[in-house]
Amino acid sequence: MAGRIRDADVALVRERSLIAGVVSEHVQLRPAGRNELVGLCPFHEEKSPSFYVNVATGLFHCFGCQQGGDVYSFVREIDGLSFREAAERLARRAGVTLTFEGGGTTDRTVSSQRQRLLEAHRIAAEFYAEQLGGHPSARAGWDFLTARGFDLTAAQRFGVGYAPTGWDALTRHLLSRRFTGEELVLGGLSKQGSRGGLIDRFHHRLMWPIRDLAGEVVGFGGRRLAEDDTPGAGPKYLNTPETPLFKKASLLYGAELARRDIARRYQVVVVEGYTDVMACHLAGVTTAVATCGTAFGPEHVAVVRRLLMDSDERHGEVIFTFDGDTAGQKAALRAFEHEERFATQTFVAVEPAGLDPCELWMRGGDAAVRELIARRVPLVEFAIREVLGRYNLDTTEGRLAALDAAAPLINRIKDAGLRHGYAVNLDRWLGFLDERFVARRVAEHRAQQAGGGHSASVASAAGRREPAATDPVVIVEREALKLAV
Ligand SMILES: [Zn+2]
């Protein structure tokens, strides 16, 4: 076991690791006066930025949670690393070879587990990419890609690869590079076969490397290429399991490619699949990301807000694309249920024919995908219009019933100005041409909801009101299902 890292190396790595560069791999920063940058703190939830980085001193400090320190403390804290792991990570980034008291350098014997796993993933991604180019059965992978309009350049841009047929091609490759079997299992690249030996986790699949925000490969998503009924072919999509590197609750596929444009355009587009991310980026919607085999949840919200540098002064837009498959979106909206402000900046982009962005791109090209995103509507508007669609607005009775059904949705909005704005819109959509009447009616519902009482004048007209119909999640889900039919 090697001793501690030499002080001179620690200093050299610090000198070569500009804190602004390291921090901005995780947090969007903007200038805040001489020598200082500011952003949303990655260590606590906040709405206005109070996380400061001083480029002159090389220190960071958060006035909200009092976290602070130098570039080493930042990396340790953000990735949950030991000092040594943080030093190795920064050294690699800065191109410095660490030496240890008593001899030895960062090589196989002294490198930390995390660095070893990252290295194994880097080699695995290269291996898969080579297989896509050369393996005889990679043909099926190319068929999949070309059928969706992706060429060699696109495959290379996203690092797409191929996990070959057979049982242990990658495992043998990595063992020959002196990784241990335990490391391969821990990293989710290999697993125990039924006959005892190690086999690859992924077989005959098209492979997407999944990277963290710093651009390091931390796992893979694999699309099955075998026919549905092939024995042992496994699920259509198979991802890396939870490992020390792969934390699916906070990972977003494509985030390392999209992050600059997310910050620049104050917009993030959330799609369902890896091919949707590819299609969006190729179509010029370069703010697209996807979750990795899980629903969009609270930790994704936190990551997205940091990338948007979402603040009280400037709200970013989070746009969900909707197709026939609603499970993910349903959970996404649930995640926003308790975060009112985030909900008001959530938009929905629905493809009328039920196509996902990749299918849309295949059929309509770049313009169709960009048009889909441009046609986004606020979540609240989407939900209200869906409710109105269930009533006959040609009759006074129908319009009144629709008003009563939509009012609870408007009353979910906490901001009074926005609530008023939607009441005015509702009048326009209903065609009463009497804003004051509609606004008063909505307010009556609000008073009734707050008091828990039943105002006869309001309740009687509501006719077919059902409690679940006012839940945007339910409405959006039903709408999406309707589109899928
Ligand atoms: Zn903080």
pLDDT digits (tens, 9 = 90+) for 216-236: 999 999 999 988 777 777 899
Cα–ligand 1 centroid distance for 319 (angstroms): 27
Cα–ligand 1 centroid distance for 20 (angstroms): 16
On whether residue 245 sits in a domain, the answer given is no
Check which CATH number belongs to the domain holding 78 and give it.
3.90.580.10
On whether residue 290 sits in a domain, the answer given is yes
Cα–ligand 1 centroid distance for 338 (angstroms): 21
Cα–ligand 1 centroid distance for 60 (angstroms): 10
Cα–ligand 1 centroid distance for 90 (angstroms): 22
pLDDT the model gives residue 457: 40
Report the chain's terminal Cα–Cα distance, integer Å: 63
Bridge partners (DSSP) of residue 288 are: 269
Q: Is the domain of 82 the same as that of 121?
A: no
Cα–ligand 1 centroid distance for 48 (angstroms): 11
Domain region containing 442:
382-484
Cα–ligand 1 centroid distance for 149 (angstroms): 44
Rounded to an integer, what distance in angstroms lies between the CA atom of residue 201 and that of residue 28?
Answer: 36
On whether residue 2 sits in a domain, the answer given is no
Q: How many CB atoms lie within 10 A of CB 188?
A: 22
The total number of structural domains that make up the chain: 4
Cα–ligand 1 centroid distance for 65 (angstroms): 4
Q: Is the domain of 343 the same as that of 315?
A: yes
Full pLDDT tens readout for the chain, 485 residues: 457 888 889 999 999 999 999 999 888 899 998 899 999 999 888 888 999 999 999 999 999 999 999 999 999 888 777 788 889 889 988 888 888 877 666 554 446 788 899 999 999 999 999 999 999 999 999 999 999 999 999 999 999 999 999 889 999 999 999 999 999 999 999 999 888 899 999 999 999 999 998 889 999 999 999 887 777 778 999 999 999 999 999 999 999 999 889 988 889 999 989 999 999 999 999 999 999 988 887 788 888 888 887 666 667 888 988 664 454 445 445 544 545 555 667 888 888 788 899 999 999 999 999 999 999 988 878 778 878 888 999 999 999 999 999 898 888 887 889 889 999 999 999 998 899 999 999 999 999 877 754 443 443 333 333 334 445 555 554 444 444 33
Task: Using the 3D structure, point to which of 94, 127, 146 is the last residue of a domain.
Answer: 94
Cα–ligand 1 centroid distance for 41 (angstroms): 5
Q: How many CB atoms lie within 10 A of CB 327?
A: 10
Cα–ligand 1 centroid distance for 339 (angstroms): 19
Q: Is the domain of 371 the same as that of 392?
A: no
- The SS3 call for residue 31 is strand
Cα–ligand 1 centroid distance for 81 (angstroms): 18
Q: Is the domain of 400 the same as that of 467?
A: yes
Task: Using the 3D structure, point to which of 375, 407, 442 is the last residue of a domain.
Answer: 375
Rounded to an integer, what distance in angstroms lies between the CA atom of residue 356 and that of residue 315?
Answer: 26
Cα–ligand 1 centroid distance for 298 (angstroms): 17
Alpha-helical runs (H) found in 211-339: 255-265, 274-282, 298-308, 327-336
pLDDT the model gives residue 335: 41
Cα–ligand 1 centroid distance for 198 (angstroms): 44
Whether the Cβ atoms of residue 55 and residue 18 lie closer than 8 Å to each other: yes
Task: Using the 3D structure, point to which of 375, 393, 417 is the last residue of a domain.
Answer: 375
Q: Is the domain of 118 the same as that of 208?
A: yes
pLDDT the model gives residue 479: 46
On whether residue 103 sits in a domain, the answer given is no
Check which CATH number belongs to the domain holding 132 and give it.
3.90.980.10
Cα–ligand 1 centroid distance for 413 (angstroms): 28
On whether residue 99 sits in a domain, the answer given is no
On whether residue 358 sits in a domain, the answer given is yes
Q: Is the domain of 313 the same as that of 412?
A: no
Cα–ligand 1 centroid distance for 303 (angstroms): 14
pLDDT the model gives residue 294: 86
On whether residue 390 sits in a domain, the answer given is yes
Cα–ligand 1 centroid distance for 46 (angstroms): 8
On whether residue 105 sits in a domain, the answer given is no
Q: Is the domain of 80 the same as that of 149?
A: no
pLDDT the model gives residue 311: 64
Q: Is the domain of 120 the same as that of 227?
A: yes
Q: Is the domain of 88 the same as that of 139?
A: no
Whether the Cβ atoms of residue 105 and residue 98 lie closer than 8 Å to each other: yes
Check which CATH number belongs to the domain holding 261 and give it.
3.40.1360.10
Do strands 59-62 and 237-239 pair parallel, antiparallel, or not at all (unpaired)? unpaired
Cα–ligand 1 centroid distance for 39 (angstroms): 10
- Those residues whose C-beta lies under 8 Å from the C-beta of residue 154, and which sit 6 or more positions away, are 145, 160, 278, 282
Q: Is the domain of 217 the same as that of 169?
A: yes
Q: Is the domain of 344 the same as that of 435?
A: no
Q: Is the domain of 311 the same as that of 342?
A: yes
